[in-house]
Amino acid sequence: MFKRIFDLCVGMLVLILVLPLLAVLALAIRLRLGAPVFFRQERPGKNGEPFEMVKFRTMLDLCDAEGRPMPDDQRMTG
């Protein structure tokens, strides 16, 4: 029980300390890439149960009218 309380307190403290940085990051993404700031995707989780993954959006959507990537698209895949 003590470990659970300790983990929650440390997690909340870290969240409070990192929150200003996350707010600045969200503002920078909003100004540079526009809305939405977050990328959401459903993924399989424990025992195959789906969950919604949320992360900051970092890639541009450079596509032509037909949905094909633009020739100067600088995304790299590995």
The model's pLDDT over 9-34, given as tens digits with 9 standing for 90+, comes to: 999 999 999 999 999 999 999 998 88
Q: Global pTM? A: 0.65
* Dist CA 64 CA 52 (whole Å): 29
42-71, pLDDT tens digit by residue? 999 999 999 999 999 887 766 767 767 666
pLDDT at 3: 97
Q: Is the dihedral of CA 6, 51, 21, 16 positive or negative?
A: negative
